[in-house]
Amino acid sequence: MEGHIGFMLVATSLVMLMTPGLAFFYGGLAGKRNILGIMIQTFVSLGITTILWWAIGYSLSFSGEGGVIGNFDAAFLHNFTLEELYSTEDGNIPPLLFFTYQMMFAIITPALITGAFINRITFKSYLIFLVLWQVFVYYPFVHMVWGGGILQQWGVLDFAGGIVVHASAGFAALASVIYVGPRRDKASPANSIPLVAIGTGLLWFGWYGFNAGSELLVDSVTIQAFVNTDIAASVAAITWLIIEWSRDRKPKFVGLLTGIIAGLATITPAAGFVPIWAAALIGLLSGGICYLAVQLKNKLSWDDALDVWGVHGVGGLLGTILLGVFASSAINPNGVDGLIYGNSAFLIKQIVAVVCASAYAFIFTYIMLVVINFFTRVKVSEEHEDLGLDEALHGEKAYDEGAL
């Protein structure tokens, strides 16, 4: 048991590291006048979400059985004795460690959305968005899929967050983009591709804790999830690179990095349920389909600045469906067989669950932004957008421009 606890402490730390990694990834892609604006939106989730998770989030996600949302029995962890918080009598990791591990997922999920509406959202409205989106989108899906809710009871599987994290955040991002409209300056280049590379490295490193840690102990499934994560990310990265190279006649570093994230997002729901060959195929499909999704976004003039929908939304949707195809109970006895092993019913459940989750996240997010705008302005003024949010909203600059 001590070994499991030690591993999960490391996995929890790795998932926490993904949030700063995301800030670097998004910050590097941002224009030089909006680096701090996007990074503070990511970092602030570390504080607000931690408090919210302790107060009500964990309870709403993991208390109660059935339905779409939990209850307040575990609010502020007030119904746990000190002995219960650290108990391992049932063979599982201590409840307090599980609480903390899941908190790291809650921190990064809404932060994923921020890359879509970069330099167009006021900070005040974002803070309201951060709280409401978790309460009405994230917590219900955690409960329904992982906390004993209706989808889990129906037999839907999601190893580490294809539905709960990536599809819900990705389609919420698309709704946000449609609501706030395009940037005034869409040609603003990435300010630091090396910073994007550092962010990608931290995300890839942290993703091992994200996926392998979701087994919540150390066994063969943990190893399988770890290897599948690496294989899918690697294949997706090279697939994206080759496609972009053949189209643009030049191998693009940002394309390679984006392919890595697409592969990681797509394998997430399936990591602990599919064989290695299926992980490679998922990576291949991810690199191609997520690339096409980004091209579709461009053709439709959706100004998803950092391709959150095309990478996370489509990746989460695709991975959840492919789990319904390739799942193998030989890999994970707690899973089921998928379509290729004769279980078409499981594939149908996966499709219904992820489509409904994506639609709900999209619709609720759009309505929520409309409501927030009644109380405080959501979209920044044209003057602030032209000036850049770093200076206009935060009174800071990322770089001493005189030294550049």
What is the per-residue pLDDT across 333-376, written as a single tens digit (0 to 9) for each?
999 999 999 999 999 999 999 999 999 999 999 999 999 999 99
Distance (Å, whole) CA 280 – CA 271: 11
Burial 325-349 (b: 16+ CB within 10 A, else e): bbbbeebbeebbbbbeeebeebbeb
pLDDT digits (tens, 9 = 90+) for 72-97: 999 999 989 888 898 877 778 999 99
Judged against a pLDDT cut of 60, whether residue 403 lies above it is answered with no
Mean pLDDT calculated for residue range 237-252? 95
DSSP 8-state assignment for residue 51: H
Question: For 42, left (φ over 0), alpha (ψ -120 to 50), or beta?
Answer: alpha
| pLDDT score of 402 | 57
Mean pLDDT calculated for residue range 149-169? 97
Output phi, psi for 138, to 5 deg.
Answer: -70, -50
- Provide the residue count of the chain: 404
pLDDT digits (tens, 9 = 90+) for 254-277: 999 999 999 999 999 999 999 999
Judged against a pLDDT cut of 90, whether residue 386 lies above it is answered with no
CA 203, 208, 209, 212 dihedral sign is positive
Distance (Å, whole) CA 107 – CA 49: 6
Judged against a pLDDT cut of 80, whether residue 187 lies above it is answered with no
Stated pTM of the model: 0.95
CA-CA distances (angstroms) from residue 403 to 30, 193, 273, 400? 19, 18, 51, 6
Mean pLDDT calculated for residue range 189-193? 86
Residues 6+ apart with CB under 8 A from 301: 182
Q: Domain ranges for the chain, please list them.
A: 2-387
- 397 versus 314: the higher-pLDDT residue is 314
By CB neighbour count within 10 A (0-12 exposed, 13-18 middle, 19+ buried), where does 374 fall? Answer: exposed
| pLDDT score of 185 | 76
| pLDDT score of 401 | 65
Mean pLDDT calculated for residue range 145-168? 97
Mean pLDDT calculated for residue range 233-247? 97
Tokens of 102: 């899941």
Identify the helix (H) or strand (E) that includes residue 71: none
Which amino acid makes up residue 9? Answer: L
Q: What is the CATH number of domain 2-387?
A: 1.10.3430.10
